[in-house]
Structure 1
Amino acid sequence: MSTPTRKARTTSLHDDAYALFIEALVQKRVKAGMTQRDLAKALGWNQSIIAKTESVQRRLDIIELIRISEVLDFDPARLVRDVQAKIREL
C-alpha cells in the first residue's frame, strides 16, 4: 500500500494571507505617521528588522506584534480579525 502524497504547503512567509497581514501592519505604521526608522527606534530594534518584516523576508511573532501595536496604538486582536475577514474574501 502506498503512502498518499501530500500537497506541498506554502510557508506563511510566502502565503497571500501573510502578505495581507503585513500590508495591514504597514498601513498602521503609515497612519501613525512613522517611518520604519521611527518605529525601530521606538522599539529599540534595528531598522533592518522592520524593513525585512515589511518586505515579507522575516516572520513576525506574536510578542513582536503586541510590542508594535503598543507603539502604534492599535488593538492587535482587531487587526487579526480584520485580516481574517479579508482572507475569507480570497
Structure 2
Amino acid sequence: MVKQWFTGVDNYIKKEISDYKDLLKNLWGINNADKTGIPLAVNAGRVLPPTGARHLYQVVTSSKKQVTNKAGFNAFGEYLPNMILFSGEII
C-alpha cells in the first residue's frame, strides 16, 4: 500500500511538473510544515475536595485563546524559521 502511494505521488509529479527532474536535484525546495495550537487558558488540574463532598467544582477560564506555532523543515533535514501566530484583530 505504501509503495502504491509513492508510485502515485511520482506519477502525479511527472504529470504536473514539466521539469520534475530539476526539482529532485534541488532538495532545498522540498519542504514540509505542520502547526500546533497551544492554549493560553490552562485547566486548574486536580482538585482535592473535602471528605464527604457531594458536589465538586473546578474553576476554569472560558477563554479559548491560543498561540499557533508553525514549524517546518526541508528534505535535507534543515529547519525552517518558526512562525508564531498570536490572536489579534485585523484592522
Shorter-normalised TM-score: what interval?
Answer: under 0.3
Give the TM-score, by structure 2 length.
0.26
More helix by share: 1
- Give the structure, 1 or 2, with the largest relative contact order (CA under 8 Å, sep 6 or more): 1
TM-score, L = length of structure 1: 0.26
Structure number with higher strand proportion:
2
